């Protein structure tokens, strides 16, 4: 059994409201808030909370959280460690690197593109930290972080030891992983919600080297770049195009001309529904249909978009929302709504200023129920709901 290192210093203890720690800017106070700047502090803080039976919420960038107005009756922990370490880099093995859970995700992407490390360029502009990336298996524009993760070092709250999970053990799926699934699993001392059983300490990534991107898998991105789906483009061009697309949709936190409140969101509030292929005929004929690809490469000697699972098909949550009658800027109470769909993208639920968690939840419920009534498809929320039920 691997034991955690000794704590070298006390973590920073302050008070905090979850509204100040989340991109939706809603949520009440935490009973206690701790910032940890070393792995030892993080492990010891988590272990002490579990020993005392104190509810635990580990936060990163707060871009995937909707917390109740009453706040969180437990300990909120934020890992503030940063820094990217390159372990190896050569033409044969590519780039091997690792970074702590607190590392800003988009800063890592920017460095990867600059250094010509291939595989995350389409994930530009996603808010949050590296530690959260493999938990949710973040993805955008046809790319997922599972394509570059080599392993994840964690603190296993059940076995009370540091444990490294290889990519084969992480069980990556669309917006899911073993890490995320462990959040609600019942084990000795569980359930672990709202933080997974496995608290991410650091993540090891493996990327190939090259000036060209991974094959472009998303039609909208391909059109913007002027290439065909499956072709490659300069990595810098892919990053610039993705940032432009995200900016148009109000999906960048701190840039672009879009209204400020369009950025007060959790990004895409609902995941794109994945349904059985035989049920695809239940969708309207003009509903988008996308292949569901695994993280395994297809059998080919060239660049691969990934192996297609023929038993599944993915459709667009945004398309379903719009065709169920919900337009950009829609709110439960019309223009007087303090929570409304983004004026740029119907998939983002936004706080227009002064919204409560209940306001956000009422909007999300109305959209979910409307899509279910119109198409029989149940939308699933992407953010973690703390103290709330959709």
Residue 65's pLDDT band (cuts 50, 70, 90): very high
Identify the weakest region by mean pLDDT among 1-10, 198-207, 287-296: 1-10
Instruction: Find the mean pLDDT for residues 350-363.
Output: 96
Which of 112, 177, 268, 337 is flagged as catalytic? 268
Q: In sequence order, which residues have a C-beta less than 8 Å from that of residue 250 and are 6 or more positions away? A: 256, 258, 259, 262, 263, 265, 342, 343, 344, 345, 348, 350
Identify the weakest region by mean pLDDT among 174-183, 284-293, 362-371: 284-293
pLDDT digits (tens, 9 = 90+) for 183-231: 987 766 677 999 999 999 999 999 999 999 999 999 999 999 999 999 9
Percentage of residues of the chain with pLDDT beyond 90: 77
Which of 153, 157, 175, 344 is flagged as catalytic? 175
pLDDT digits (tens, 9 = 90+) for 158-188: 999 999 999 999 999 989 999 999 998 776 6
Instruction: Find the mean pLDDT for residues 352-381.
Output: 96
Predicted pLDDT of residue 6: 39
Listing DSSP states for 288-357 in one string gives --EEEE-SSPPS-SS-----EEEEEEE--HHHHHHHTTPPTT-BTTGGG-SEEE-SS-TTEEEE-SS--H
Reply yes or no on whether the pLDDT at 296 is more than 70. Answer: no
Residue 124 belongs to some domain of the structure: yes
Residue 339 belongs to some domain of the structure: yes
Residue 233 belongs to some domain of the structure: no
Residue 300's pLDDT band (cuts 50, 70, 90): very low
pLDDT digits (tens, 9 = 90+) for 12-30: 767 789 999 999 999 999 9
Same domain, 121 and 17: no
Domain boundary among 36, 61, 79: 79
Same domain, 90 and 42: no
Residue 126 belongs to some domain of the structure: yes
Domain boundary among 186, 209, 232: 209
Reply yes or no on whether the pLDDT at 9 is more than 60. Answer: no
Domain boundary among 35, 55, 79: 79
Predicted pLDDT of residue 297: 44
Specify the number of domains making up the chain.
Answer: 3
Which of 35, 44, 258, 382 is flagged as catalytic? 382
Q: Helix-strand-coil percent breakdown of the chain, rounded to 5?
A: 30, 30, 45
Distance CA 266, CA 390 (A): 15
Identify the weakest region by mean pLDDT among 23-37, 38-52, 299-313, 353-367: 299-313
CB 156 within 8 A of CB 197: yes
Nearest by Cα to 119 from 304, 288, 352: 304
Predicted pLDDT of residue 97: 97
Same domain, 160 and 180: yes
Instruction: Find the mean pLDDT for residues 250-275.
Output: 80
Same domain, 75 and 105: no
Identify the weakest region by mean pLDDT among 10-19, 116-125, 263-272: 10-19
CB 303 within 8 A of CB 216: no
Residue 21 belongs to some domain of the structure: yes
Q: Where residue 266 sits, what CATH number does that domain have?
A: 3.90.78.10
User: 369 is in which domain, residue-wise?
Assistant: 260-386
Residue 238 belongs to some domain of the structure: no
Helix (H) or strand (E) holding 362: helix 357-375
Residue 128 belongs to some domain of the structure: yes
Is 382 marked active-site?
Answer: yes
Predicted pLDDT of residue 223: 97
Same domain, 43 and 138: no
Q: Where residue 185 sits, what CATH number does that domain have?
A: 3.30.465.10
Instruction: Find the mean pLDDT for residues 369-389.
Output: 95
Same domain, 67 and 171: no
pLDDT digits (tens, 9 = 90+) for 79-88: 999 999 999 9
Is 232 marked active-site?
Answer: no
Same domain, 69 and 99: no
């Amino acid at each position: 059994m691997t034991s955690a290192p000794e704590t070298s210093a006390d973590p920073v203890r302050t008070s905090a409201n979850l509204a100040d720690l989340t991109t939706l800017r809603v949520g009440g106070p935490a009973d206690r808030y701790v910032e940890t700047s070393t792995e030892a502090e993080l492990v010891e803080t988590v272990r002490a909370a579990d020993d005392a039976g104190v509810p635990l919420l580990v936060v990163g960038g707060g871009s995937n959280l909707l917390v109740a107005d009453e706040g969180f009756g437990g300990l909120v922990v934020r890992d503030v460690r940063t820094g990217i370490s390159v372990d190896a880099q050569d033409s044969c093995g590519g780039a091997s690197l690792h970074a702590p859970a607190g590392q800003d995700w988009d800063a890592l992407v920017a460095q990867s593109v600059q250094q010509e490390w291939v595989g995350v360029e389409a994930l530009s502009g996603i808010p949050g930290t590296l530690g959260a990336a493999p938990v949710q298996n973040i993805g955008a524009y046809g790319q997922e972080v599972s394509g570059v993760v080599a392993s994840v070092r964690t603190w296993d709250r059940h076995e009370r030891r540091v444990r490294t999970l290889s990519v084969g053990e992480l069980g990556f799926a669309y917006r899911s992983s073993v890490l995320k699934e462990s959040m609600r699993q019942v084990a000795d001392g569980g359930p672990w919600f709202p933080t997974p059983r496995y608290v991410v300490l650091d993540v090891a990534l493996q990327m190939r080297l090259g000036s060209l991107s991974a094959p472009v898998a998303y039609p909208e991105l391909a059109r913007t770049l002027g290439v065909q789906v499956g072709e490659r483009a300069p990595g810098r061009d892919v990053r610039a195009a993705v940032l432009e697309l995200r900016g148009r949709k109000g999906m960048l936190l701190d840039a672009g001309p879009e209204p400020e409140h369009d950025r007060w969101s959790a990004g895409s509030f609902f995941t794109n529904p994945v349904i059985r292929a035989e049920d695809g005929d239940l969708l309207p004929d003009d509903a988008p249909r996308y292949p569901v690809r695994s993280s395994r490469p297809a059998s080919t000697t060239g660049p691969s978009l990934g192996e297609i699972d023929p038993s599944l098909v993915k459709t667009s949550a945004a398309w379903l929302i719009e065709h169920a009658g919900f337009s950009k800027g829609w709110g439960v109470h019309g223009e007087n709504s303090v929570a409304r769909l983004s004026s740029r993208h119907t998939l983002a639920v936004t706080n227009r200023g002064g919204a409560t968690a209940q306001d956000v939840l009422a909007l999300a419920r109305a959209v979910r129920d409307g899509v279910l009534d119109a198409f029989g498809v149940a939308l699933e929320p992407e953010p973690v709901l703390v103290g709330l039920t959709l």
